[in-house]
Chain A
């Protein structure tokens, strides 16, 4: 495939929408909303097209597109810094995920009335940044996009957030930017060590870095990116930030942004410094396992709906990190599946909670009861998210977690047990939540609640479709992810009972 312009569009469309929005006078709120909706619709279609057309039989990086930006000057050689875009089988589902969540995010943001214009400008900046990370193939622009995805969060939370937003926003920004300091240093070190005069990842991937160098700088990437993925013990920004953020931002943040962290570990860590994986990946697996259990236990204790979901995100991202830590084809495959699955699921969660909070002005689980009588659709959608979260077969969460556990059993059986335990804990908090708030005796205080608006219903359907699709027919995802994962350096190929074919039926 050689249609890299499709990737460029992913950056140009939201970028153009951002510029266009700046030019619209702020009193035309609806114009601003429609610009955002049209832009995200276009990017969603583009993302679906890229996902569909990605040629999995061929594998590897496709849609390659490269424009030099600065080259042959000073320490920069040919293609020193270039706008280099490409997707592989791991990035393709992530691009789709961002398209879906961004589109749904605009739908649920329809009800925002305060400074609509500013909101969508920042939203589009964030959205562009996330795409840039998924498709970027040049360390300079990769890092550029990474920071661009983090930075608007501060203003988005401070202006439109709730519940302790100043604290949450500052904590989130400082922790994440602190993590990117490590990435920054790591990138410099890799560039200087490689001596190739280019920040092009395609070149750097082919350079063999020594074991000592890789062992020293792998943690810069692992921790730097891991912070964004909720790596224990640097995860505390995540629940605070999620709770403080407005609905659409929580969706994008938990749904897409946290995945950037795990994605960065694959892109920078596993691909560029494979010699460091032997030593550091087991550490990642242990930390991921701890986060999975710890997040689940914390979620059980929470009374604020968003805190429950915030900690559940920490727990589920723990699974992702565990999957990466296995360093075998099935585990890493599962990690990528989980990134997608958790992305849509948690976006759905936050969309639903937002819909409830805007009417009820509280998220305290204890005061709700019998919501199903007033908000049946809300309960159905929320229930689907909950069931995905606890890994019900037939929904996407099961497919992903199953891969991760199979992969973990092969390398660290004990941690597979830990993972399964935390899946069981997930069942406890999800079912309790459902039993208490959705079912149970009806609390007359909520007599005036209305069901979801049509925008929210549309958003929910967009997000539920892939959950179910992946749950009953994961092949399109696995077809794309598995060959790419198998080609990553240093990946163990597990055979026997757990071959890929036994999972996919091929």
Chain B
């Protein structure tokens, strides 16, 4: 078989970049460490631009395991962008508070590589390996501040639960393989159509102990496998009730890693989620949609209610990101096996919300990193009087939090509007209503943060105005502008996304056409 290696050059270059950065640090001992950060950022930016230009019109498969289509390229650029802004925001932070910078940046690059492969995977084991590459990089990065016990605790919890969830997922994959005899998405899809046609009957005969084993094999295994994979993914995206590790990992991790985890980690898991469920499991949508709907509802409710009680900003953002996962899951729920165009709308809405959320979240964290660089504190009350001390940071945080709450002018309004509308169109009125109500609750705790910044005077010994380092301020300006742009004119972005999600449903469209033809 001829493999077209040129399709995955960006991934090779990424691996090379990581190795070069780490190796260079061994060779260049006298160089100021921050240059490794800037070098990484420049490398990521170059790769992102070249990838976007060179691969945009590509639509090809690398064997049966990776697809390089619009969806892949969009997410490649997206992940590289996330990593770029994370690194840029991290340079000063790492210089002040961390050791072994080159390894730090190298691991970020490795994690990004995992994300890129995950979005491209069309085969369960490849996806699993990519996910593990991503997760292992994150386990180390969360615990990178090794002298801080919180960092250690967060890392350990994350690793133990992550290993557990990986095991669940692997077991699910093995069941799927056992039933269908394949691990490629494209082959699972048709089998799922066969398998679910009379799945209820088979379950009944299975439970009845009639002993009549289905000649096709035990199809209920498919459903169980699906549930296990969903649970495993639930851990990775931190959906309730699989979210327990999130607040501790978020609080313990060095701030830039918290940002990266909440943005990149989630985005990658959702890219996987979306591709898997639309290419492989879409025909069985009727079987899993209720399960995911309940997961989404519980995640939105619990995430928001827990966030109400937080006093630490990182923990607040952890619960806020959990609730955002709930909104994103609404997009999965809106996938509809019988209506391909509705499914594509849902997928596009999900990706749009994902990009809006990630941009906003990185903006919040970049601002908080700038604040932390100066003060070394991250409780909500520490933000008191920020509007006096550093008006731009206060504005950036306020704008981003309003965006997360889904207020107009900012990204959250437009993207939530579209994702909830997708759920409504698929008949999930109640889920959309819960979503809207949940984001109303979220406004309260975001306002509590904004109140601290704007209502009170600065407290404590350090009340001076302060400056934000230039690269960080520049990154922040770009991010806030992005949040406003997506909020005011998402049309071009939505167009790009919509063209990229088309490929996900080619097979489902063909299948449903075939079913219609019978």
Contacts and interface: CB of A to CB of B under 8 A. Distances in A.
Do A and B interact? yes
7 contacts: A69-B489, A74-B349, A151-B402, A181-B436, A181-B437, A188-B432, A192-B425
B421 interface: yes
B421 A191 contact: yes
Interface string A172-187: 0110011001001100
B345 interface: yes
A119 to B, nearest CB: 12
A145 B488 CA distance: 12
A166 interface: yes
A69 B491 contact: yes
A458 B32 CA distance: 64
Interface in A288-345: none
A147 B345 contact: no
Given A75-B345, A155-B450, A166-B455, A185 B444 contact: no
Contact of B342 (A75, A140, A174, A191): A75
Contact of B424 (A125, A144, A155, A192): A192
Interface of A: 69-70, 73-75, 125, 140, 143-145, 147-148, 151, 154-155, 158-159, 166, 170, 173-174, 177-178, 181, 184-185, 188-189, 191-192
Nearest to A170: B447
Interface in B415-447: 417-418, 420-422, 424-425, 429, 432-433, 436-437, 440, 443-444, 447
B71 to A, nearest CB: 16
B498 A159 contact: no
A125 B425 CA distance: 32
B273 interface: no
Nearest to A197: B425
Given A147-B408, A148-B409, 5 more contacts: A73-B498, A74-B345, A140-B417, A155-B454, A191-B425
Contacts of A140: 417
Contact of B429 (A159, A178, A184, A189): A189
Contacts of A189: 424, 429
A185 B498 contact: no
B506 interface: no
B402 A188 contact: no
B490 interface: yes
- The secondary-structure label for the interface of chain A is helix
A374 to B, nearest CB: 35
Interface in B459-518: 489-491, 494-495, 498
B422 A75 contact: yes
A185 B450 contact: no
Residue of A73, A74, A166 ringed by the most chain B CB atoms within 10 A? A74
A9 B50 CA distance: 42
Contacts of B413: 144, 147
Interface of B: 341-342, 344-345, 348-349, 402, 407-409, 413, 417-418, 420-422, 424-425, 429, 432-433, 436-437, 440, 443-444, 447, 450-451, 454-455, 489-491, 494-495, 498
Contacts of A143: 408
A188 B432 CA distance: 9
A70 B437 CA distance: 26
A267 to B, nearest CB: 17
Contacts of A74: 341, 344-345, 348-349, 418, 422, 494, 498
Contacts of A192: 421, 424-425, 429
A147 B422 CA distance: 21
A95 to B, nearest CB: 20
A159 B450 CA distance: 11
Contacts of A173: 443, 447
Nearest to A220: B433
Nearest to A22: B395
Given A147-B408, A178-B440, A184-B436, A75 B447 contact: no
Contacts of A151: 402, 407-408
A159 B490 CA distance: 32
Contact of B444 (A70, A147, A166, A174): A174
B348 A185 contact: no
Given A73-B494, A188-B424, A144 B489 contact: no
Residue of A155, A166, A191 ringed by the most chain B CB atoms within 10 A? A155
A166 B344 CA distance: 45
Contacts of B440: 174, 177-178, 181
Contacts of B408: 143-145, 147-148, 151
A147 B407 contact: yes
A155 B451 CA distance: 8
Nearest to A146: B408
A145 B409 CA distance: 9
A154 B449 CA distance: 13
Contacts of B402: 151
Contacts of A148: 408-409
Contacts of A174: 440, 443-444
A185 to B, nearest CB: 5
B3 to A, nearest CB: 35
